[in-house]
Structure 1
Amino acid sequence: MSHHKPDQETEHAPGYGAPSGWSPKQARRIERTPETTAPIVYPADEDDASGLHIWDTWFLRTRDGSIATIDGWRVIFSLTAPADLLPGKRHDVATIRYFYSRDGQEWHCGGTVFEEGKAFGSRQWAGSALYDADGTVYCFYTAAGSREGPLSYHQRLAVGAGGSVETDETGLEILGPFDHQIMLEADGDRYETEAQSRGMIYTFRDPWFFEDPKTGATHLLFEANTPVPEDADCCNGDPTRQEFNGSIGLATSPTGDPTRWQFEGPLIDAVCVNQELERPHLIVRDGRYYLFISSHRHTFEPGLEGFDALYGFVGKSLRGPYRPLNDSGLVLTNPTAAPYQTYSWLAYPHREEILVSSFLNYYNLEGLGIDDVGNLPPEAQFERFGGTLAPTVRLTLDGDRTEVRGTLGHGHLPTPDEDLPPTLRERLRESDVTGGESYAGTEN
């Protein structure tokens, strides 16, 4: 790790419509370093017999953010599509399924979460899930498109409330019926509507439930875009740059009811920097609020050089102000040789470390760009797409600095009392001290 005093006061930038912004000056510092680059990963040795493409994934959590354990079982939710569908078409038919495990390594598919035809939208995109104290399951999701009419990309924040969990020695089942409600639609003031959008991608999605440990207040984070008038005094008046207007939205429940929300202003915006701040989520540690998002190389303003990566920010309260981790915001990216190997990262704490889950995306591209994949023959597209859970990445977190420590197995979600193996660096250090055998190769 670089010699940088932890928690030194990297400047926070004001946002266009938020108290904090991700500024072009900060984004220009983005670069791959050993501390921010994951190792090359490969598909798991065993064949995937699920018959599914699996991508964006999240956990069943309790109100305090802990991963729920129910009679020894834990649950993840994933966007899924039939594995015989071309990978680039999977978002058009996405369905949320759940998987359960005792050891956090072998996952069993429990089926679709919602009854067929009951959820809003023609398909459902990412969200979060709450296992409340009374045993009720709330599944927050993005309602994409409409059940009627042609395929569209209209997005609303929705919830399926009232589910329950049943378990026995052989498995776990999530049961309905769910009461589906549209929680929030973009207001056109704080958050851009689809009609207002001038950018390449419209976003109003990815609801993430969060209860603030300092205040006890109940919140919902989500991905959005900030409305920027064409005559706005920003981005040097360049309307093309103004189209890059991603933000992290916030809503609050006055009573703690997970189905009733009121808009607040965004926490961070990236006007003039990035158009898409996907899947925002929070970790609170040592009194600091760590806010993470995923983003793509192609959603950065053309004058900036970013990567498909996990980015992060830190503040002293939910509302900030926030400054970027590692000076630039870059926390974890793919190696140069495999720039699209994983995506849709989700960070969560495990003892003194931060673990990061994701899915295996496109690999073995042999120099092709991501936009070239759709021009390949179908067989070549399937050969280069993972569509499974990726290896879990281990990070250290020290003030406003992070460092990659190595990886665990594909989709490995350690139990709370599980000791993680030492990294190669630690094994080498132990070897030097004891005079034992030396090690070679990559870290775990």
Structure 2
Amino acid sequence: MPHHDRYDDCSCGKCDYCHHKGNRKFRCCFEESGGFDRTPAIWTREQAEQIRITPQNAAPVIDFDALEPTAPDLWVWDTWPLREQDGSIAVLPGGWRVIFSLTAPRSVLPGKRHDIATIRYFYARDGQDWIPGGRVFPQEDPFGSRQWAGSAFVKDGEIFFFYTATGRRGETSVTYEQRLAFARGDVFSDLEGVLFDNWEEHVIIAEPDGEFYQTQEQSGGGIIYSFRDPWYYLDPESGCEFVLFEGNTAITPAVRECEPQNIGDGDFRSGNDVPNGAAQFNGNVGIMLLRNSDYTEWELLPAILEAECVNQQLERPHIVYSGGRYHLFIISHQFTFAPGLDGPDGLYGFVANNLFGNYVPLGEGGLVIANPPEQPFQAYSWLVLPDLSAESFVNYFNLEGLSLNEVGNQPDQYIFNHFGGVLAPTLQLTVDNLDTTIVNELAQGLVMESETQSAPFPPTCEKRRHYGDLEDEDRDDHAHTRGKRSRDDHRINRGGRRKRHRHD
């Protein structure tokens, strides 16, 4: 169906996403998504076996001696920019661009930084010489014993912030429970700098349901568990609002089997031929749909991509819409690939004509950026921006053949000396159909101004991004959907903010 005909008819009424409000818009977006019966795209072992490092996807070796500290007293790793709601890079009054990073004191061993991660922000007019702005949230506000990666956009002087709440505040030992959280605050920006303040009460917006997304109990332990990295996404073709995230498919390891693999010419390799242990690997890219105007209620939908028997972690999923296609990017480590597969630490990508698939791998089996073989762990956590530039951070370097697992057994000073913890040089990509190429290495930590492309036939109104409030009868009418729990009403009178005590 042509894009411009898509909005002419819908079982829930004329499918004009622009003017529908509340639950009526939710239903149209829900139907457009394929609902609960949609089948995810699959990253197969056959595809992953095509992964190769080539001159087109191998990153240049970083000049480690030329690196500047992003923050003198802090490790800095997973980083993301402040965006406009459509995904374009935001430029605040005063000319500032803003990035957010996971941070920890440099006195902490690099391997322990995830256990105390705090989100801080930096701002710069040139998108390069970043000025530290401090913590994003007051220390007592966010959920979790620490916070992991997320996303943020700005609209009408407010910031809408999504993050991973990891563990529980006050826990006596470090745990790895992961939930998706949201907060909303005010943006203050002028020639002097940038400040985020007046945060409303934080809200948990999603937890694994055990049906589409594996709970920690279902995982059985032993392999890295995931329900994190919320990435807000406004679909330019429909105006529907989603959050992508990293998850695991909700099947217990004891009952999961690897499907037979197509090996070409109509022949199939039995699932029994897949190496032992591969069935433990079940990473996916999850997605959920917005239900209300406050960004506090969301509906979990089936994943858009699954990697069962292929990879355990499809980290930090995000989409760049370009040329009328959806380019889905994730990051993954070498050690998170299932037995029998050899993928480097890198950025991996997939493309589809529709937000919900069917996604096929870009590049060589999905590999878009690989660390060079002589420095296999030099960078990580690439994030592709609307102009197809990719920022990341400097990870471990000059290890002389050591694996990441072996690094942890080295003396403390060795580990400190071989970890970067700063922003890496930005890389410029090109994408031509399924082919990708690294065409340039840019300045360290550079985030350029860039705008998200519009859809060829977008909804025909200017306010397609706004939801109306849900009516009570709308809530009741949708109560059948998978037994969704009711939540407290978190609407705030913007003229007089209020906070309520809550337990983490």
TM-score (norm. length: structure 2): 0.76
1:117 aligns with 2:140: yes
For residues 164 and 401 of structure 1, the distance between their equivalents in structure 2, rounded to whole angstroms, comes to: 42
For 1:39, the equivalent position in structure 2 comes to 60
Cα distance per residue 1:323-374 (max 9 Å; x no partner): 0002500000100000000000100122xxx100000000011111111111
Whether the 8 Å contact between 2:67 and 2:444 is mirrored in structure 1 is: no
Q: Which moved more, 1:45-54 or 1:57-66?
A: 45-54
Whether the 8 Å contact between 2:386 and 2:450 is mirrored in structure 1 is: no
**1:324 pairs with one of 355, 361, 369:** 361
Judged with a 3 Å threshold, the aligned counterparts in structure 2 of structure 1 residues 172 and 329 are, in CA distance, closer, same or farther, namely same
For residues 381 and 231 of structure 1, the distance between their equivalents in structure 2, rounded to whole angstroms, comes to: 39
For 2:202, the equivalent position in structure 1 comes to 180
Whether the 8 Å contact between 2:68 and 2:422 is mirrored in structure 1 is: no
Per the TM alignment, residue 282 of structure 1 is displaced from its structure 2 partner at its CA by 0.2
Whether the 8 Å contact between 2:87 and 2:386 is mirrored in structure 1 is: no
Amino acid at match of 2:98: V
For residues 300 and 64 of structure 1, the distance between their equivalents in structure 2, rounded to whole angstroms, comes to: 33
Amino acid at match of 1:262: E
For residues 39 and 282 of structure 2, the distance between their equivalents in structure 1, rounded to whole angstroms, comes to: 11
- 1:228-307 to 2 correspondence within 5 Å? 228-229=251-252, 230-235=254-259, 236=271, 240-255=277-292, 257-307=294-344
Cα distance per residue 1:45-70 (max 9 Å; x no partner): 36525300000000111111111111
Whether the 8 Å contact between 1:166 and 1:174 is mirrored in structure 2 is: yes
Whether the 8 Å contact between 1:274 and 1:301 is mirrored in structure 2 is: yes
Per the TM alignment, residue 176 of structure 1 is displaced from its structure 2 partner at its CA by 2.9
For 2:430, the equivalent position in structure 1 comes to 396
Per the TM alignment, residue 222 of structure 1 is displaced from its structure 2 partner at its CA by 0.3
**1:410 pairs with one of 428, 444, 459:** 444
Larger Rg: 2
1:356 aligns with 2:390: yes
Which structure shows the higher strand fraction? 1
For 2:413, the equivalent position in structure 1 comes to 379
1:191 aligns with 2:213: yes
For 1:440, the equivalent position in structure 2 comes to none
Per the TM alignment, residue 165 of structure 1 is displaced from its structure 2 partner at its CA by 1.5
Q: Which moved more, 1:370-379 or 1:359-368?
A: 370-379
Amino acid at match of 1:407: E
Q: Which moved more, 1:210-219 or 1:140-149?
A: 140-149
1:141 aligns with 2:163: yes
TM-score (norm. length: structure 1): 0.86
Whether the 8 Å contact between 1:103 and 1:415 is mirrored in structure 2 is: no
For residues 184 and 256 of structure 1, the distance between their equivalents in structure 2, rounded to whole angstroms, comes to: 16
State the 4+ residue runs in structure 1 displaced beyond 4 angstroms. Answer: none
User: Does 1 or 2 have the higher relative contact order (CA < 8 Å, sep 6+)?
Assistant: 2
Judged with a 3 Å threshold, the aligned counterparts in structure 2 of structure 1 residues 64 and 167 are, in CA distance, closer, same or farther, namely same
Whether the 8 Å contact between 1:363 and 1:386 is mirrored in structure 2 is: yes
For 1:4, the equivalent position in structure 2 comes to none
Whether the 8 Å contact between 2:44 and 2:307 is mirrored in structure 1 is: yes
Gaps of 5+ in 2: 1-36, 260-270, 452-504
For residues 125 and 424 of structure 2, the distance between their equivalents in structure 1, rounded to whole angstroms, comes to: 19
1:213 aligns with 2:241: no
Per the TM alignment, residue 281 of structure 1 is displaced from its structure 2 partner at its CA by 0.1
For residues 257 and 374 of structure 2, the distance between their equivalents in structure 1, rounded to whole angstroms, comes to: 40
For residues 217 and 257 of structure 1, the distance between their equivalents in structure 2, rounded to whole angstroms, comes to: 14
For residues 395 and 101 of structure 1, the distance between their equivalents in structure 2, rounded to whole angstroms, comes to: 23
For 1:6, the equivalent position in structure 2 comes to none
Cα distance per residue 1:216-266 (max 9 Å; x no partner): 000000000002243345342677222100000010013454222111100
Gaps of 5+ in 1: 1-15, 418-444
For 1:57, the equivalent position in structure 2 comes to 79
SS class of match (1:371) = helix
Judged with a 3 Å threshold, the aligned counterparts in structure 2 of structure 1 residues 197 and 17 are, in CA distance, closer, same or farther, namely farther
For residues 65 and 44 of structure 1, the distance between their equivalents in structure 2, rounded to whole angstroms, comes to: 34
1:20 aligns with 2:41: yes
Cα distance per residue 1:283-306 (max 9 Å; x no partner): 001110000000000000111111
For 1:441, the equivalent position in structure 2 comes to none
Whether the 8 Å contact between 1:283 and 1:290 is mirrored in structure 2 is: yes
Judged with a 3 Å threshold, the aligned counterparts in structure 2 of structure 1 residues 32 and 166 are, in CA distance, closer, same or farther, namely same
How many pairs does the alignment contain? 397
Whether the 8 Å contact between 1:194 and 1:202 is mirrored in structure 2 is: yes
Whether the 8 Å contact between 2:292 and 2:298 is mirrored in structure 1 is: no
Whether the 8 Å contact between 1:294 and 1:309 is mirrored in structure 2 is: yes
For residues 243 and 68 of structure 2, the distance between their equivalents in structure 1, rounded to whole angstroms, comes to: 37
Per the TM alignment, residue 17 of structure 1 is displaced from its structure 2 partner at its CA by 8.8
Judged with a 3 Å threshold, the aligned counterparts in structure 2 of structure 1 residues 400 and 47 are, in CA distance, closer, same or farther, namely closer
SS class of match (1:89) = helix
